[in-house]
Amino acid sequence: MEPLGQRLEDPAGQDVPEDPGRIRVGRRGSDHPRPAGAGVRIREYLERKARDPLSHVLTGTALEALDEIADLERQLDRLEEQALFRPEEVGDEGGIDPGLRGHGTDRRTVVAEGRELPPCGLGDSLAGPARTGASTPSLDSHTFSIFQRMMNSEASVRIRDLRVRRGGRLVLPEISLDLRRGVVTGLLGPSGSGKTTLIRSIVGVQIVESGEVTVLGKPAGSPELRHVVGYMTQAPSVYGDLTVRENLQYFARVLGAGTKRIRDAIETVALGDHADQVVATLSGGELSRVSLATALVGQPQLLVLDEPTVGLDPVLRRDLWNTFHELTATGTTLLVSSHVMDEAERCDDLVLLRDGRIVATGSPDELRHRTRVDDLEDAFLALAEAS
Amino acid sequence: MSPRITLATAARVLRQLRRDRRTLALVLFVPALLITLFKYVFEGQEAAFDRVGPPMVGIFPFVTMFLVTSIAMLRERTTGTLERLMSMPLAKLDLLLGYGLAFASVATAQASLTAGVAFGFLDLNAAGPVWLIVVFAVGNAVLGMALGLLLSAFARTEFQAVQFMPAFVLPQILLAGLLVPRERMARVLELASDVLPMTYAYDALAKTAADDLDGRLALDAALIGGFIVLALVLGATTLRRRTA
């Protein structure tokens, strides 16, 4: 975690390690300095206190809170910049913040339940009305959306300065990224852009050169995470000589999941009619659905899917995307990679990857706003060319 | 490590094998057919058949399980199921013991069947107890499995894995003393055979057949166990949670 003091002292400097995943639009330079003194002094005090073994627990929490405030400030900065630099855009829609968009009635649940609890259950009663229709670009709505962002910023996955070499090639030079909890993040990019390598790093099966990947508060690949992270590889990794059901039975037993989960997983991927068919005799699309069912069977908190919908018919594809969003309603975080742009529309957040670098992150609406185009593919092109 | 996962893995491996009926039939019946062939090749030379027969009963499972395991493990590596398992709460020992249990039970069936045919129908004679020959046969099967698992890490394709049979197993059979007693071989070869696991596997079988149930036999058994553990430990290091 980078120190807050530095951020505050150097609010507009080029070298601030400011959420490099986020693209900046209309940076205004240094005419908007933030007062440096207080934050630094508080942090110094807390850091001193943190060395005291008796109070370190308390101050640790306070330091985290300071980090969140810093996060909030950065987002405030960004939104102000957008507003001042391109005022005409802010009015289009209240939805600068992806948190206000469609899918999620569950977005506020994480906050309501506190950070230690798994974000499930209480959600619906606490969630406010969907605010898709809001259209006043008042400071209030800004503040509100920032607040929401901050509260949701309890990231499921936190990546800092990740550098990965794969097969002798530097695939990811330096990536930093946060994945919000309880949403579907789409990882988009042409093939060879590093999607699978990034995914493997998150799941913890990739040897990384440097950097940190934290998943649900633990270093990626920690033994505790093996129960709660579901992973679907790009090539269907199931046993071809077993039936669909036998495959799921085995993986369910490894994960300690019950028979009901097996049935549910088979239903979800619509393979009920083929449950007792040997996997090797299935078609390509069916095969990848078995692989997907295997990732679903353990009821993971983080579900990482590498191109799960390739070769599926449109109806099933739509159904699966609905399933993905249903899963987020129980607090599951999803990361779904795709090289098909029309899937981007179905994601809450997007990460556009190209040549191992993050070109942009944000909701589909946000990206359209930034690039002033309606089509996400065009938006991607614009962002890729600008980068 | 958890018994639930170990047993689930063993059951899964057996189920895969059961689904492949032809492989299962080859594993179970080919040794019995070959030993029958031997019987008629050694027609009229009962002493020679009695010398070669018992070790054959015990060495077939080694060869079979070596091959089957190296291919099965290679498949786990290349199809991504190993990567998936390694991202799940499965201990490496669960996988190793699961494979061990599954193949040991197949080897028990194979060795019992071969021994039954050889001693029951082909008039093979052994001075020592037949059950002990079967026990060593199963031990050899586990040894073959452990070595196959280890060597599968060094094969990229199934073609390569199959070639490990002549490359690693045949020399051991040649040097084990089955064809020429070890003390009559060149000194270098004798020394080489001292460090090869098959040497002790063969020695144990030959001693049991001759009813030499002495301390040397116990040492053989201990060494076979040691080789199994060594191969499994080395094999475990080739099962990587993280890969490049």
- Residue B181's domain spans which residues? 3-237
H or E stretch including A232?
Answer: strand A229-232
Nearest to B239 by CA among B76, B104, B98: B76
Whether residue A215 is predicted with pLDDT greater than 90 in this model: the reply is yes
pLDDT at residue A159, as a whole number:
94
> In angstroms, what separates the C-alpha of B105 from chain A's closest C-alpha?
19
Give the pLDDT score at A336: 95
- What helix, strand, coil percent values describe chain B, rounded to 5? 80, 0, 20
Interchain proximity A251–B84, CB inside 8 Å: yes
Residue B140 domain flag: yes
Contacts A298 to B, Cβ<8 Å: 88
Q: Which among A166, A226, A233 has CB closest to B244?
A: A166
Tokens of A219: 């270093």
Within a domain: residue B207? yes
* pLDDT reported for residue A39: 64
Same domain, A213 and A309: yes
Of all residues in chain A, the one with the smallest CA distance to B90 is A254
Mean pLDDT of A156-177: 92
Distance CA B91, CA B8 (A): 13
Q: Does residue A29 carry a pLDDT above 60?
A: no
pLDDT tens-digit readout, A147-163: 444 444 578 999 999 99
Distance between A232 CA and the closest CA of chain B, angstroms: 8
Asked, for residue B242, whether it belongs to a domain, the answer is no
pLDDT more than 70, % of chain A:
64
CA distance B195 to chain A (A): 35
Q: Does residue A108 lie in a domain region?
A: yes
In chain A, what residues touch B16 (CB-CB under 8 Å)? 239, 241-242
Mean pLDDT computed over every residue of chain A: 74
Does A384 score more than 70 pLDDT?
yes
Q: What is the mean pLDDT of residues A306-330?
A: 87
Predicted confidence (pLDDT) per residue in A67-124, tens digit: 777 777 777 777 666 655 443 443 333 333 433 333 433 333 333 333 333 333 333 3
Residue A221's CATH number: 3.40.50.300
Q: Give the residue among B96, B95, B111 at the shortest CA–CA distance from B30.
A: B111
Q: Which of A226, A233, A278 sits opposite B83 (nearest CB)?
A: A233
Minimum Cα–Cα distance from B17: chain A residue: A241
The predicted pLDDT at position A106 comes to 37
- Put simply, the answer to whether A226 touches B15 (Cβ < 8 Å) is no
Q: Are residues A17 and A43 in the same domain?
A: yes
Its domain, for residue A77, covers: 1-85
Contact between residue B4 and residue A242 where contact means Cβ atoms under 8 Å apart = no
Q: Which residue has the tokens 């995470």?
A: A225
A308's CB contacts (< 8 A; 6+ apart) are A232, A288, A292, A320, A336
B134 CA to centre of own chain:
12
- Assess whether A210 and A356 both reside in one domain: yes
pLDDT band for A22, please (50, 70, 90 cuts).
Answer: very low
Closest-CA distance, A64 to chain B, in angstroms, reads 30
Q: What is the pLDDT of residue A238?
A: 94
Domain-located, residue B166: yes
The C-alpha atoms of residue A382 and residue A367 are separated, in whole angstroms, by 10
* Whole-structure pTM value: 0.71
A17 pLDDT more than 50: no
In a domain, B244, yes or no: no
Q: Name which residue leads in pLDDT, A87 or A240.
A: A240
CB proximity list for B8: less than 8 A, separation 6 or greater: A250, A253, A254, B98
Sequence-distant (≥ 6) Cβ neighbours of residue B80 within 8 angstroms: A233, A235, A236, A237
Q: How many residues does chain B have?
A: 244
Question: In this predicted model, what pLDDT tens digit does every residue of A217-227 receive, in sequence order?
Answer: 999 989 999 98
pLDDT value of position B170? 92
Tell me the Cα Rg of chain B.
Answer: 18
Q: Dihedral of CA B210/B214/B218/B224: which sign?
A: negative
Tokens of A268: 């979800």
Q: Using alpha carbons, list the distances in angstroms from residue A255 to A213, A371, B19, B90.
A: 23, 44, 24, 8
Same domain, A351 and A374: yes
Please tell me which of the candidates A204, A241, A254 has its beta carbon nearest to residue B8. A254
Instruction: Tell me how many degrees the CA angle A284-A286-A292 measures, rounded to the nearest 5.
Output: 110
pLDDT for the residue numbered A133: 37
Whether residues A292 and A307 fall in one domain: no
Q: Regarding predicted confidence, which is higher, B106 or A6?
A: B106
For position B187, what pLDDT does the model report? 92
**Among A43, A61, A85, where does a domain finish?**
A85
User: What is the mean pLDDT of the segment spanning A324-333?
Assistant: 90
**A191 and A337 assigned to the same domain:** yes
Do residues A315 and A334 share a domain? yes
- pLDDT given at position A71: 75
HSE of A323, CA atoms in CB hemisphere, 13 A: 21
Residue A312 lies in a domain: yes
CB contact under 8 A, A205 and B90: no
**Four-residue CA torsion sign, B88, B94, B95, B98:** negative
User: Which of the 8 DSSP states describes residue A278?
Assistant: B
Mutate: best of B17, B84, B90, B97, partner A, most A CBs <10 A:
B84
Q: Confirm whether B57 is domain-assigned.
A: yes
Q: Is residue A159 part of a domain?
A: yes
Residue A42's φ and ψ, nearest 5 degrees, are: -60, -45
Asked if residue A58 is part of any domain, the answer here is yes
- Say if the Cβ atoms of B80 and A226 lie within 8 Å: no
Last residue of a domain, one of A23, A50, A85: A85
pLDDT tens digits, chain B, 244 residues: what are they? 889 999 999 999 999 999 999 999 999 999 999 999 999 998 889 888 998 899 988 888 899 999 999 999 999 989 889 989 999 999 999 999 999 999 999 989 999 999 999 999 999 999 999 999 999 999 998 999 899 989 998 999 999 999 999 999 999 999 998 888 888 999 999 999 999 999 999 999 999 999 988 889 999 999 999 999 999 999 889 888 888 8
If you average pLDDT over residues A54-67, what whole number do you get? Answer: 61
Q: Is residue A235 part of a domain?
A: no
Amino acid type, B150: L
Whether residue B40 lies inside any domain: the answer is yes
Picking from A45-54, A235-244, B223-232, which range would have the lowest pLDDT averaged per residue? A45-54
Inter-residue contact B13 to B95 (CB < 8 Å) = no
State the total domains in chain A.
Answer: 3
Q: Do B244 and A242 touch (CB under 8 A)?
A: no
Which pLDDT value is given to residue A81?
A: 62
Provide the domain count of chain B.
Answer: 1
pLDDT above 50 (res A14): no
Tell whether the model's pLDDT for residue A21 goes beyond 60: no
Farthest-apart Cα atoms in chain A, separation: 68
Does B125 fall in a domain?
A: yes
Q: How many helices (H) and strands (E) does chain B have?
A: 11, 0
ipTM confidence score: 0.88
Q: What are phi and psi of A125, to 5 degrees?
A: -70, -25
Has residue A217 been placed in a domain?
yes
